[in-house]
Amino acid sequence: MRKAERADYVRRRLQELYPQTPVPLAHTDPYTLLVAVLLSAQCTDERVNQVTPALFALADNPRDMAALSVEQIREIIKPCGLSPQKSKAIKRLSEILLAEHGGAVPADMEALERLPGVGHKTASVVLSQAFGVPAFPVDTHIHRLAQRWGLTNGRNVVQTERDLKRLFPREDWNRLHLQIIYYGRQYCTARGCDGTVCEICRTCYPRRRAPKVTRKA
């Protein structure tokens, strides 16, 4: 298969497997999604969903969150890891949202990336999942699968995002981002598939016999 043929197959097969793409992080609005995505750094979505109910019971908006101390936030989010940095970022970004954005999460990439603890990937997730803005957030899992499927040569997540945006229609980006995550968790895990096991890997590269060595993000 050529790269374009692999991309078309991936798009069609993922749509068959995952016609519905619910957001895996529990949230009620752009602000709670922003906080949940920030907490998900180096933490599973399942763990985040276990932690956020207690946090949002105290503060599910910037004003209430800014009124909490860093220590109060940290005590709740400890199970997510990196709690010292994350608690400070959550409090500070809440203060900035109040001071500079009227308490609302901006639907703007540059404004989001200026918030503490919010990098390009987090901003992309919020834009795509909270506001429906076409984006293709690439984390380490999508980076790995895109390499296994021959959709990028995978020097880094920046290049992988650029390559995927070139390969797939803009209107499919938001859905595909989630579909690739679902597939990676279910069939093409880091240890369960080495590029020769799952259906999509075998279809894209039927003659591949040796494990596909992927570059880390």
Q: Which residues are catalytic?
A: 121, 139
Q: Which residue, 183, 138, 137, is CA-closest to 19?
A: 183
Contact criterion met (CB below 8 Å) for 27 and 36:
yes
Residue among 108, 65, 53 nearest 90 (CA): 65
Q: Are 136 and 162 in contact (CB under 8 A)?
A: no
CA proximity to 39, closest of 91, 95, 117, 156 = 117
Tally of CB atoms within 10 A around 17: 14
CA angle 199–205–209, rounded 5-degree value: 95
Alpha-carbon gap, residue 152 to 154, rounded angstroms: 5
Residues with Cβ within 8 Å of 155's Cβ and at least 6 positions away in sequence, in order, are 215
Extract long-range pairs of 203-212: CB within 8 Å, 24+ residues apart: 203/9, 203/13, 204/1, 204/6, 204/9, 204/10, 204/148, 204/149, 204/150, 205/150, 212/147, 212/148
